[in-house]
Amino acid sequence: MGEKEIQITTDKEVMRKWSRSMRVQGKTIGLVPTMGYLHEGHLSLIKEAQKQAQLIVVSIYVNPSQFSPSEDLTTYPSDFHGDIQKLKSIPGAGVDVVFHPQNLYDYGEFIDSCTNKEEKDKGVDSCIGGEGKLGHETWVRVERLEKGMCGKSRPIFFRGVATIVTKLFNIVEPDVAVFGKKDYQQWRIICRMVRDLDFSIEIVGCDIMRDADGLAMSSRNVKLSPDEREKALSISRSLSRAKSAAENGQISCTELRNSVIQAILEAGGKVDYAEIVDQECLEAMEKINCPVVFCVAAWFGKVRLIDNIEINH
């Protein structure tokens, strides 16, 4: 049996018309938003989407609005051809459409007048920053949930995420959207945004996919040297130990946090944050007396990794 042909479109109007034509036929649509450089974690999200909807759309778009000028937008790994081959290999009904827009913040000819050539060649749109008179200036904020954890060190990140997900929802018009819970704060923010803005979309969160050694799958893992990768295992291993300790009666969040921080520092990492928060409202806890999630962000070399583990008290 041959590989399924996947429709690839870069045009948002073509994407929207396809979705609406499928809806007229009574079909349900599942969306899996990605930034490409797909791995088994992404493929697991697609397989979950197949359980939830009849047709599957995968978006591949490196969203510039969630990167600050000091972050790795221009070096973010990409392999579009490889991504398509991986999508074709998915068993079952497979993927129906790949939505691969060039720039979802380009609204016309004005972009040439407000983006310098060097930035344009790198895929960076100055208009996002409001420099152009006709540039993008409408943002979606989930004000309280975005403040802690990743929001502290990446203050524009969740504004960019919420806005681009809103745009994708308005273009693809899915019935279901599937996200990984490795980006736990992001998942909760999207759930809250969908609730607050009355999107008629079911949001499904999937558990973290890990490599055999326990490292949480991430497109950025490819940037780790073998030595850094080995040291980065301190994150998942210390989180697992913390969960076991909590389940055995250790409820002091300070002591659990300190144990994880110490393990990462001893491995040569630099901790961005290590927080134990309520699973729903993401507020920091002093003691574990309700379902919590232990979230960590840490640097190994030049790579920032995130991971988490749920502790259901």
Q: What is the dihedral of CA 124, 127, 128, 133, to 10 degrees?
A: 180
Among residues 39, 42, 81, 313, the one annotated as catalytic is 42
Q: What is the rounded radius of gyration, in angstroms, for the C-alpha atoms of the chain?
A: 20
Q: Quick one: which H or E segment has residue 110?
A: none
User: Is 313 in the active site?
Assistant: no
Report residue 145 as tokens. 């949930």
Amino acid at 293: V
Report residue 189 as tokens. 């923010």
Residue 163 near residue 135, CB atoms below 8 Å:
no
CA atoms of 52 and 313, how far apart (whole Å): 29
For residue 290, give every residue at least 6 positions away whose Cβ sits within 8 Å of its Cβ, in sequence order, or none. Answer: 278, 279, 313
CA atoms of 104 and 62, how far apart (whole Å): 10
Q: What is the dihedral of CA 124, 129, 133, 139, to 10 degrees?
A: 110
Cα→Cα distances 187→14, 143, 154, 207, Å: 28, 15, 16, 11
Give the residue numbers annotated as catalytic, written as ranges: 42
